[in-house]
Structure 1
Amino acid sequence: MASHEEILADKAIFAYLHRMIGDEGIELIRRFPTDKEYSDEELAEVTKINLNSVRNTLYTLYEHRLAKYRRIKNNETGWLTYLWELELDNMYDSVSKDLEIILEKLRKRYKYESENAFYNCPNCGNTITFSDAMDSQFVCQECENKMVHFDNDLLVNALQKRIARIEENLGHV
């Protein structure tokens, strides 16, 4: 099991986590004690990070299966306490899952871009499909200028390369 610092030293993982939980979340991971489970209040006190930030970070990490909690009930008061610990060993599974979601979105966009012809307004930049351009008689609905054909080959090629790179990283190739 890698330490929190070793995991954060990986630039790609750091960027992934930073987008997910921000600066305070990264600091929480850096300062998170590994000796036992901690409540969110204890973590806020130990790490000197705002309680709301601690809670938001923990919930976000939990959603990505990078943290887990155990719930205990105080029988006298009925209050529930959540004891947290990080599960950063699941990092690569989390990244892979997110990449699969991104890959599916890119595939849909690629299909849409490659199956349609587009027209663009040189004045306001409005871009529409050929079908919509025909319906509007190739006149921009925003500024009433004439629409011109828009070559999206550059975008289609970029999407294709991005999809191939992600598929390769995920081992789909």
Structure 2
Amino acid sequence: MVSVTELLKDPAVNAYILHMIGEQGIELIRKFPEGEEHSDEELAEETGVNLNTVRHTLYTLYEKRLAEYRRLKNSETGWLTYLWHLRLDRVHEVIEEEIRDVLDHLDARLTYEEKNDFYMCKNCGVIYTFTDSANWNFECPNCETMLEHFDNELVATALRRRVDKIKESLGSA
């Protein structure tokens, strides 16, 4: 398994994790004892990171499947203790999943742009589909200005380029 230090040397991984958990979160994962389980209180004490930040970071990582916990119940008090460990070995899979989600959204938007004809109100700056525009007799529903055809080829071209670059980076172009 690659160490946290090695993972964070990758600029893409570092940027992704930094965006997700911030500087203090990065500090926590750098100081997280490798290969061990710890409670959030222990981690706060050992790393010097604020307890609320520790909890927020762990739950954020958990949502992305980059941290896991084991729950223990104290038989005397009934209190639950969560013992956490990192699963940063999954970070590349998680990033790829998110990129694929973005690609799906961009593909859907590109399809929408390619299959629709658009009209714009020059006064309001709002763009409508042909169907909506026709329903309003090509008058803006806000200000009653006549709608003008909007050429969305620039938008479609930009989306196509972005989709192609993402597919290329994923090796599926």
Q: Which TM-score applies when normalising by structure 1?
A: 0.91
Kindly tell me the number of residue pairs found equivalent between the two proteins: 173
1:38 match: secondary structure:
coil
The aligned residue for residue 168 of structure 2 is: 168
* Contact map agreement 2:40 2:55 (CA 8 A) in 1: yes
* Contact map agreement 1:119 1:128 (CA 8 A) in 2: yes
* Contact map agreement 2:118 2:151 (CA 8 A) in 1: yes
1:128 pairs with 2:128? yes
Note the C-alpha offset of 1:57: 1.4
Note the C-alpha offset of 1:30: 2.2
Note the C-alpha offset of 1:27: 2.3
The aligned residue for residue 106 of structure 2 is: 106
* Contact map agreement 1:126 1:142 (CA 8 A) in 2: no
5+ residue gaps, structure 1, are none
Instruction: Tell me the amino acid that sits aligned with residue 141 of structure 2.
Output: Q
The root-mean-square deviation of aligned C-alpha atoms, in Å, is 1.6
1:156 pairs with 2:156? yes
* Contact map agreement 2:35 2:85 (CA 8 A) in 1: no
The aligned residue for residue 75 of structure 1 is: 75
* Contact map agreement 1:138 1:146 (CA 8 A) in 2: yes
Q: Which TM-score applies when normalising by structure 2?
A: 0.91
Distance 1:150 1:25 in 2: 45
1:72 match: secondary structure:
strand
Identity of aligned residues (%): 53
Distance 1:86 1:57 in 2: 11
Instruction: Tell me the amino acid that sits aligned with residue 85 of structure 1.
Output: H
Distance 2:62 2:40 in 1: 13
Structure 1 moving runs of 4+ over 3 Å: none
Deviates more, 1:134-143 or 1:23-32: 23-32
The aligned residue for residue 63 of structure 1 is: 63
Deviates more, 1:71-80 or 1:90-99: 71-80
2:59 match: secondary structure:
helix
Distance 2:78 2:106 in 1: 48
Distance 1:117 1:48 in 2: 57
The aligned residue for residue 22 of structure 1 is: 22
Distance 2:159 2:136 in 1: 29
Distance 1:23 1:118 in 2: 44
Q: Deviations over 1:87-143 (max 9, x none)?
A: 111111111111121111111111111100111112221111011111112211222
Note the C-alpha offset of 1:35: 5.2
Distance 2:99 2:35 in 1: 32
Distance 2:157 2:47 in 1: 47
Distance 2:143 2:53 in 1: 46
Deviates more, 1:85-94 or 1:46-55: 46-55
